[in-house]
């Protein structure tokens, strides 16, 4: 015990890589590709967010890291960070599906899973309090709401102080208080040297990460810090325009702007921002469109992803729903002509 204290006082938390993936590929049954040639190293104290549309391989990659799946090619290595310990790295994994022993209480579930993972009942109880579950902890999990079950998932994944934390869509079902507590606990775990990997579609989570990896059709298409990734779309304003009735195809936009048709109207990317707005409105009016609402927003991760892949972060597994037109007004040509997706990511 005293040795541990000495080490933490002088050396800080263990550093270096916690998990490494080298040339990892995974194929589902019937040859459907899940992941291809993934190379990734996540270090102690680092938070990595995996961003990508549904079916891009985020959950599959997490399951490979959790050793729930085995790669078809390449290898995944967990590193304990301490050569004197032969034991495997302690992994805290909250999968996308919430599964518990419904007949047992939240406290019993949390304590059982945390003990089985090498933690203590006290640690489980402490997180039950922090996640606001103290008043409900002695009710059967079968009576819980989805959000309460999600909190128990997170407590079970985090309370044993794992060195590798894997969270799949952790903010789904959480209210703002739960999200804040989760962010606090993750920051604490990272400070003690845990590597944290989060698969999510929540761009707020991505904005707070150390690095963001974009996954597209089973490949990592970009990985960098959030600020570096957003730099690529700096100055490109996204204007969301809801129309009373959708246009048959996106109209030809002024130079420096390109339009993507969506279910509700158009998304126009403009390098001159709102300065182009009158010309854009005129163009839409001439094309017969009647504008219901205009939303101007600063570029975000969705824009980065669209720039990288031509698809939206909110695309379905087939990656397609709508067409895009550039200044030439023609769909299906060049960088500005792309197959877009369903409802756009909105931050109002």
**What is the closest distance, in whole angstroms, from the C-beta atom of residue 49 to other proteins in the complex?**
22
User: For other proteins, which is the closer residue by CB, 87 or 176?
Assistant: 87
The yes or no reply on residue 116 touching other proteins (CB under 8 A) is yes
**What is the closest distance, in whole angstroms, from the C-beta atom of residue 119 to other proteins in the complex?**
7
**What is the closest distance, in whole angstroms, from the C-beta atom of residue 63 to other proteins in the complex?**
9
Q: How many residues form the binding site for other proteins (CB under 8 A)? A: 26
**What is the closest distance, in whole angstroms, from the C-beta atom of residue 22 to other proteins in the complex?**
22
What is the bridge-based pairing of β-strands 195-200 and 164-168? parallel
The yes or no reply on residue 119 touching other proteins (CB under 8 A) is yes
The yes or no reply on residue 118 touching other proteins (CB under 8 A) is yes
Distance CA 229, CA 213 (A): 10
Phi, psi at residue 32, to the nearest 5°? Answer: -70, 120
Contacts of 80 (CB under 8 A, 6+ apart): 87, 88, 89, 163
**What is the closest distance, in whole angstroms, from the C-beta atom of residue 117 to other proteins in the complex?**
6
**What is the closest distance, in whole angstroms, from the C-beta atom of residue 66 to other proteins in the complex?**
6
Query: DSSP state, 138?
Result: T
Contacts of 193 (CB under 8 A, 6+ apart): 12, 13, 14, 15, 44, 45, 81, 163
Task: Write the interaction track for other proteins spanning residues 133-162; mark x where CB under 8 A is met and - where it is not.
Answer: -------x----------------------
User: For other proteins, which is the closer residue by CB, 29 or 176?
Assistant: 29
Which residues in 180-239 contact other proteins (CB under 8 A)? none
DSSP alpha helices (H): ranges in the chain?
2-10, 58-65, 106-116, 121-130, 146-158, 176-191, 203-207, 226-231, 277-286, 301-309
Element (H, E) at 259: strand 257-261
Distance CA 265, CA 156 (A): 43
Which residues in 12-71 contact other proteins (CB under 8 A)? 28-29, 66-69
Q: Which residues bind other proteins (CB under 8 A)?
A: 28-29, 66-69, 88, 90-91, 93, 95, 97, 99, 101, 103-104, 108, 112-113, 115-120, 140
């Amino acid at each position: 015990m005293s040795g541990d204290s000495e080490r933490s006082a002088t050396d800080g938390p263990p550093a270096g890589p916690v998990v490494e993936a080298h040339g990892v590929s995974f194929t589902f049954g019937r040859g459907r590709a899940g992941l291809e040639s993934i190379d990734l190293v996540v270090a102690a104290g680092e938070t990595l967010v995996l961003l990508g549309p549904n079916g891009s391989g985020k959950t599959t990659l997490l399951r490979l890291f959790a050793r729930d799946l085995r790669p078809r090619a390449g290898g995944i290595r967990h590193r304990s960070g301490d050569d004197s310990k032969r034991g495997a790295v302690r992994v805290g994994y909250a999968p996308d599906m919430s599964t518990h022993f419904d007949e047992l209480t939240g406290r019993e579930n949390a304590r059982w899973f945390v003990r089985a993972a090498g933690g203590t009942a006290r640690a489980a109880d402490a997180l039950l309090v922090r996640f606001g579950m103290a008043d409900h902890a002695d009710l059967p999990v079968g009576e819980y709401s989805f959000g309460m079950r999600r909190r128990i998932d997170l407590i079970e994944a985090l309370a044993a102080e794992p060195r590798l934390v894997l969270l799949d869509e952790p903010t789904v079902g959480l209210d703002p208080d739960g999200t804040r507590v989760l962010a606090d606990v993750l920051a604490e775990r990272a400070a003690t040297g845990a590597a944290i990997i989060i698969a999510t579609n929540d761009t707020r989570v991505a904005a707070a990460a150390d690095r963001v990896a974009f996954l597209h059709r089973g490949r990592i298409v970009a990985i960098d810090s959030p600020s570096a990734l957003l730099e690529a779309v700096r100055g490109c304003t996204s204007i969301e325009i809801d129309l009373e009735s959708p246009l048959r195809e996106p109209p030809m936009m002024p130079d420096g702007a390109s339009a993507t048709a969506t279910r509700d109207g158009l998304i126009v990317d403009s390098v001159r921002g709102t300065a182009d707005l009158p010309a854009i409105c005129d163009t839409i009016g001439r094309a017969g469109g009647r504008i219901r609402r205009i939303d101007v927003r600063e570029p975000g991760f969705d824009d980065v992803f669209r720039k990288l892949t031509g698809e939206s972060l909110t695309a379905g597994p087939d990656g397609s729903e709508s067409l895009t037109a550039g200044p030439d007004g023609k769909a299906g040509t060049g960088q500005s002509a792309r197959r877009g997706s369903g409802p756009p990511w909105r931050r109002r």
